[in-house]
Amino acid sequence: MSRLLLAALLTTGCAAQKAWVPPAASTEPEVTLLWVGRGECERFVDGAWVRSPQFDYDFSVEQRRLGNHWESVKSLRRRHPDYDGSAGDRLQTWFFHLEFDGGGNAVPVRVASSLGAGTGTTDGQFRKASLELAAEVSSLAPFDRYRIAQDYRYEEGRLDEVVSLDKGNTPWVRNVEHATLFAKHAFAEPPTRR
């Protein structure tokens, strides 16, 4: 594989963005959260994760809770001076619509997004989520799915997330993200509790 093609596919920015717009909402969201953080890119080489700092990024995520779903907009900004543009524009935006079914300890999740559709589960307080999306990329790409593990620590105002780009069960690239919650006040308990 050519170096240029490999570089072009290194991070989540390599997915072709389709036109996807969150549905219109006639009511105000129950909760709006804003997360601001940083993602660090690693590539799986010879059985070990190797840093690829030129693909690191700053990001923000705006989440809105409306009934039984979340709508999120994620903006990513690559600032590294050695970033060569091969994984897309320095500034990228993605949209996510997460539908939650039922309640209890393991809540099923359906995802529609500008990166692809998928499913997953979260706990009843929306603290820990595991999502898998079918990547809408070329069949020649070295990955075909996104696996996302989220750990919301509302009381600490912290979000830790790992976004993996895999080909089947074989890891290829992962982005380790850490974000801080920006809100008018701290939360004594999860604001997402039903």
- Nearest alpha carbon to residue 23 among 110, 150, 112: 112
Q: Facing residues of 50 across strands?
A: 43
Which pLDDT band holds residue 4 (cuts at 50, 70, 90)? very low
- Quick check: 41 and 52 in contact, CB under 8 A? yes
Lowest average pLDDT, out of 12-16, 71-75, 82-86, goes to 12-16
Convert 149-173 to b/e letters by CB count within 10 Å (16 or more is b).
ebebebeeeebebebbbbeeeebbb
DSSP conformational letter for 6:
H
Query: In 17-169, at which residue ranges do the beta strands (DSSP E only) sit?
Result: 31-45, 48-51, 57-66, 69-77, 91-100, 107-113, 118-122, 128-134, 145-153, 158-167
Q: Which of 12-16, 133-137, 180-184 has the lowest mean pLDDT?
A: 12-16
Higher-pLDDT residue of 84 and 17 is 84
Q: What is residue 18's predicted lDDT score, i.e. its pLDDT? A: 53
Length of the chain: 194
The pLDDT of residue 12 is above 50: no
Residue 39 one-letter amino acid: G
pLDDT level of residue 67 (50, 70, 90 thresholds): confident
On whether the CB atoms of residues 122 and 128 are closer than 8 A, the answer is yes
- Domains of the chain (ranges; CATH) run 3-15+29-182 (2.40.128.20)
Lowest pLDDT segment from 20-29, 75-84, 173-182: 20-29
Mean pLDDT, range 77-89, rounded to an integer:
88
Q: Is 50 exceeded by the pLDDT of residue 1?
A: no
Check the CA dihedral 151-154-155-161 and report its sign: positive
Provide the pLDDT confidence category of residue 20 given band limits of 50, 70 and 90.
low
More confident residue, 32 or 88: 32
Q: What is the pLDDT of residues 22-50, one digit of tens each?
A: 566 667 888 999 999 999 999 999 999 99
Beta bridge partners of 174: 42, 164
For the segment 108-165, what is each residue's pLDDT rounded down to a tens digit?
Answer: 999 999 999 999 999 988 899 999 999 998 888 889 999 999 999 999 999 999 999 9
Averaged pLDDT of the chain: 86
Q: What DSSP element (H or E) covers 3?
A: helix 3-8
